[in-house]
Amino acid sequence: MSTSVAALRALIQQKFPDATPLTGGAQTTEHVVTGIDELDRILPNGGLPRGRLSVWAPRGGVTAILRAACLTVAHSGERSAWIDGDGTMTGAFWADGPTLLRPTSRVNAMRAAEELLRSGGFSLLILTGCEPQGTETVRLTRAAREGGTALVAIGDHSAMASLRMTSHLLDYHWRRTPFGDPADAESVTVEVHARAVGWNARTDFSLPVMHHELRLSLEPALADRRGLPR
């Protein structure tokens, strides 16, 4: 084996005498960091690959992590976009920074994704609620490569994906009522599993849980028993 590698190296040096070999895992482009150190540490080259398709299976925590990645990209002076294909993004929890698109149909979502990818102006594009399939995946992958955009699709079809991610929500940390009942989930442990060709890593970290104000009660630790007929 070593002999054949040496022979191959000699052949390359003979054919390309002026070539300088790449060493140390040199990269041609930076990867897109998510802003979550624990996650970036386990991703190949420290981030989401540019010009490639990554698929993230929707098992919990994915929206929070990818929104953090979008904000990190926006804060670094680059652009990120979020295509909300099924219209589940809640306006009250959307932060300035990424560009949000809400197409009216699946076809429009695919068209929007391709248009933005081909523009070359986005470092990160998240596609949710409309998983590309078949030739759509081919087209989007090609557009991502042309535009140099890290494309992340949330779904289960990982064909043509260079990076496959899965996340699970494990343990919630609850704040309890005086009776020991759950009152508010303060944080949750997320386990992320990243797989690529020759790459398999996992990590877990804690994420806070954000609630909105809905209660009528002054004391959040107690069940609200007002305002409703019983």
Q: Pattern of binders to another protein over 136-155, x per CB under 8 A?
A: --------------------
Which range in 17-25, 114-122, 157-165, 196-204 contacts another protein by CB under 8 A? 114-122
Least distance in angstroms from the C-beta of 85 to another protein: 11
Q: Pattern of binders to another protein over 178-207, x per CB under 8 A?
A: -x-xxxxxx-x------------------x
User: By CB under 8 A, is residue 173 in contact with another protein?
Assistant: no
- Within positions 204 to 223, which residues make up the interface with another protein, using CB under 8 A? 207-221, 223
Gap between the Cα atoms of 145 and 139, Å rounded: 10
Q: Which amino acid is at 227?
A: G
Gap between the Cα atoms of 62 and 125, Å rounded: 14
Angle between helices 106-119 and 135-147 (to 10 degrees): 30
Our CB check for another protein shows the closer of 10 and 170 to be: 170
Gap between the Cα atoms of 186 and 154, Å rounded: 25
User: By CB under 8 A, is residue 57 in contact with another protein?
Assistant: no
Neighbouring residues of 77: CB distance < 8 A, sequence distance ≥ 6: none
